[in-house]
Amino acid sequence: MINLLNASINQYNSNQITAIHTMVLEMSIIDKKIIKRLFNLIKTH
């Protein structure tokens, strides 16, 4: 029973880590898009 509980806790933790990692990746992609857009705005002026 305790092993089962530990297994589910480990699974939950790894899912959380994956979710956070995905979120960070998505944010960095969005940041790059924003930076590119800003850079283009600066270049045109």
pLDDT at position 1 is: 74
SS3 14: helix
Is the pLDDT confidence value at 45 over 80?
no
Q: How far apart are CA 25 and CA 27, in angstroms?
A: 5
Tell me the CA distances in angstroms from 16 to 1, 22, 24, 33, 39, one per residue in order: 23, 10, 12, 26, 34
Name the CA dihedral angle for 11, 16, 20, 25, rounded to a multiple of 10 degrees.
30
Judge if pTM exceeds 0.75: no
1-44 pLDDT tens trace: 788 888 888 888 899 989 988 999 999 999 999 999 999 998 88
pLDDT at position 18 is: 92
